Structure 1
Amino acid sequence: MRKLVLSGFLASEEIYINQLEALLLPMKPLKATATTSQPVLTLQQIETIFYKIQDIYEIHKEFYDNLCPKVQQWDSNITMGHLFQKLILAVRTLLYKPIDRVTRSTLVLHDLLKHTPSDHPDYPLLQDALRISQNFLSSINEDIDPRRTAVTTPKGETRQLIKDGFLVELSEGSRKLRHVFLFTDVLLCAKLKKTAVGKHQQYDCKWYVPLADLVFPSPEESEHCPQVHVIPDHELEDMKMKISAIKSEVQKEKANKGQSRAIERLKKKMFENEFWLLLNSPAIPFRIHNRNGKSYLFLLSSDYERSEWREAIQKLQKKDLQAFVLSSVELQVLTGSCFKLRTVHNIPVTSNKDDDESPGLYGFLHVIVHSAKGFKQSANLYCTLEVDSFGYFVSKAKTRVFRDTTEPQWNEEFEIELEGSQSLRILCYEKCYDKTKLNKDNNEIVDKIMGKGQIQLDPQAVQTKNWHMDVIEMNGIKVEFSMKFTSRDMSLKRTPSKKQTGVFGVKISVVTKRERSKVPYIVRQCIEEVEKRGIEEVGIYRISGVATDIQALKAVFDANNKDILVMLSDMDINAIAGTLKLYFRELPEPLLTDRLYPAFMEGIALSDPAAKENCMMHLLRSLPDPNLITFLFLLEHLKRVAEKEPINKMSLHNLATVFGPTLLRPSEGESKGHLTLASDIWSHDVMAQVQVLLYYLQHPPISFTELKRNTLYFSTDV
């Protein structure tokens, strides 16, 4: 495969060299006439026309001459990374043109890396060449010709577009999707007009603020801003399920070569649902204020995004800007230019993606945040991790605060669920404990972002069983982290423990018999600790605990260590909640059993309430006693957690979403007949699993004794 990649590149390189030779042919006679009394072109004109072409030719000719024999006399161990490294360095130092050759080289380097073993001598050289090439192209993009991103005002001045994107504005109590344009001296908020088919699309300006008049309100001034209505989590999760179900239907239609009209109808419905999610998910306020008294409020899903907009505006405000008022003609010209100048063309929803675009990663990303360095003075430091999901970024994890240091050593591991994700963002904050900086609008202290960075989650690079270490550089700060990815199909496997001792991966009946208890000790202790000090914890069971803490607790429970109670009392409550979830997830078969799984799926789909009641209760009675008693014990605990929903934000639906798949998901052998696409994590089965647990959570208290004795519940064999 490496040889095929290189052969194709060599062919294009040969054509390129021939083109350069053709350009050089007229240069010599033109130079010869330049010194005569009747020159065709002056030396300066010749230098401009043929700028660096001779040098470019020599660089590429040398590269071709060195690479060609290596490809012709192919050996899998042959090295050529140094040739690419030399080529990229030479072209970068020589000039910015022709960019397309650097771009082509970058694409080839990507392909070569995919098919070069990591232990091959070429691998680090190719990686370095790719890094240099990408940095070079990034600098080109930053210095792109201003005329392509600028509009000329009626006064003859140039107004350049710096940044644009879709943001949700809270206007008169309603959420509106706006396209926001940041120019060198003005921020413009626009809406795309509805136009007839075939007519030129245009933007309608909703408002604008000259940057000279734009200020960011202080936390104290935010007190008078309108309260942000947040959509309940369970409504957002319901919509995600609907979107994933439609995605699954689209894939099935395509696989069965269904009618294009049916596929388009499904895609339209998916777009409507994704648009609703994009509009209603953001909850992070981003306020701007006009000195003349008018304020505007955007809602963002990511602190990273809010920081980008704020920094871009503040950077422009450092220039000598003057206040102004646009005339109707000037505003019309500026708004009219937006359609041509915009860099973001489509609403960021997955239904807008082309079929050949990457669907992203589905599964679990394990990330260890090791350390950071480069801080100029000691501070209280922590990191957050964000990934994109359903077209927008969400915060997924947060490290502990490392106090009073310039080199924090977190060494914390997190398990992050990916839903079509393509990027990982890391933000580094300084923790603020000053109560005077409290944001009265949302009762949160505003911490300072010290740096932020982003990496692409390349499916080829991350889908290995090994940890991959990387560094993100941000404002002079370097954050070191490691990551590995577990695909959805791998994470669905239940692997029985090979040990005869311990509790994880061991049948629940074996554990209860060994312990001479009705409910496993690990379940009782974790639930007791959560109810003692975590029942009011915001996001309990939803927020991930530190993976290293969870693994430590797992080891202690498996070893039946005498210090379990002491360790539990000192451990972070989210780690304890995570340990309980991990225990149920690692059972060799689900708590509600493989045998009964099809019946649970059929029972929850029944429409008649009486028939559903009869079926669902009979299924509980059919469970083995250890499974049933443990399930009822957990059920009552989750109900008590949901009673604190106003404080912990965990409703019955949220808890069902967290625990449903864990308690019902079939083991590997059984799951093959039930799972839809592995990449579709919110499949029909997952929706049904959530609904099964939600049914029991919403049911009046169920007594084990009454359930076993009650003859009202009758059924044929399952």
Structure 2
Amino acid sequence: TDWAPDILLEKRLVVLRSILKSEQQYLSELETLLTPMKALKASAGTSQPVLNPQQVETVFFQVPELREMHRNFYQVSQLGVYRGFIDNYESAVEIVRTCTQADQRFRTLAESMMSNKGPDNCRTKYTLELLYKPLDRVTKTTLVLHDLLKHTPEDHPDHPHLQEALRISSSFLAGVNEDSHCKRAVTLTKGIRRQLMRDGFVVDASECEPSLRHLFLYTDLLLCTKLKNGKQTQYRFSWYLPLAGLRMNLGPVREQPADLQHRISATRGKMFQLREEKGSKGLGARTLDRSRRKLQQCELWLLTHAPVLPLELHSPSGKSHTIFLSSLYELDEWREAIEKLKGELETVPPDLLALTSSCVKLRMTQQPSLLDPSLLLKRWKRVTMSMGQVEVSLSLKYCAHALEPPRAAPVQQPPVFAVPIGELAHERVLVPHIVRSCSEEVERRGLDEVGIYRISGATSDIQIMKKAFDTVRDAISRLRTVDVNTVSGTLKLYFRELPHSVIPSELFQSLADALLDTMLTILQSCPDVNRNTFLFLLHHLKVAERQEINKMTLMNLATVFGPSMVRPPEVILGQCGPPVDISQEVVVQVLYFYLQCQNLPAPQTL
């Protein structure tokens, strides 16, 4: 390696910690596996045994020895124990399968093992499928030894011992795989032979974090594996589900938080740049290799975090797994492939070691691509849809989305609310967009609404509309779907939050003076008795000067006397004329304005 010795030793320490943590977990699983053995041994001497002594010995053959071996951390030097376990494995699985079907007591025991030493020290439920763990451990031993040797300096005293351990482990694994070769062609019920029908990469949501997994669909089961890349490609078993009785459901589309969406977009932009960089001329071999590795990391991250379409898988035994796919095309392909195979076909318990090891050969010969849709691009799919008495046939083909160059950060539009009405440079109009769109929407569907502009919409809905107007398109689409009182409330809120009124404040005095002159002129045109009585009352209503005691403000007085002092003309039956519709609030405001005048003429009483 090109790493410095101190960095190499630091990475070695990380690998060692990982090995110790994995060993602790595996040891707790072996101890959990031995829990039902004690109960089964105890019942074997009774008149109604669950398993006879020979069956107990076969199911748990060499498991106690494996536990003692891992307690002392001597796995490689005592691989003979694993040899005996592997040779006996097929017989053990057959007893488990037969007794699970025939005896309810055994089925309950086999499917309800609990351990308090699971991941993160939480209470974990296991089944007798824990029997596959020693098989998986054989493959993992070679892998971890390879990783440990890779991060151990050649002058380290452990280096030659690790080389020898890796040689022993690799030789043992090669012999196991060779012996298992004859077991790979399994004959199922009805004379069908187990074959690989489909494989591909999916995201497994069964764990705390989404994980990229290689899924294999065989004639009678689904096998989920984890791909480990190194000098030697390795597959680790994750889970399997028999197809018999398997139910599939489409789960809810996964909601991606805003920060994840932003990171996905940024990753796609980075991939575009890396591919452009790979195509550039004159770059050195090391630069190209670095770009290739970065691109692969981006692809793996994107494959793991971008898929949002879930397919839920439920087995009759109660086991469930959820996988996520990135397109409806893939989701439909997997559903259709599984649907064609599932039925009443009885599953022969798989030799998980042989089955998982065979995945390596499939990977080496077929090289399934992580992100290459070239095969899909050439394949058309015919779908027939029934629409009542008519059937429509469609031909569909997958089309990949090309990577786009990274986009510049979106320009933040200036806010709409609480901004002076004159700042319309971004709109280039003389009436703000919010005023026009809200008014048009009210005119379109709110003219017959009782209490429009008096009854406001829900405060939360109005706040959503306020936020939406920062993006014009979003506001327009929302405006047509919300309650019309929300639209009117949004318009009122806009005017209420203006920092300055629509009529500039510097013109207020001029407006007030003009109104006063006009209203006094109108008052002078009234008959003498009417004018002087009105003026007398206005001077009398200065009782508002003692409002702190009598609680009668000018507005209160205007509300009491306004409707009596100022009335619109009554419509006489049979006469035509323009209708006059003045609300009570307007009448109150007229009287209120007169009461505020400081230079009203004095009334004449004689």
> When the two structures are superposed, what TM-score results if normalisation uses the length of structure 2?
0.34
> When the two structures are superposed, what TM-score results if normalisation uses the length of structure 1?
0.29
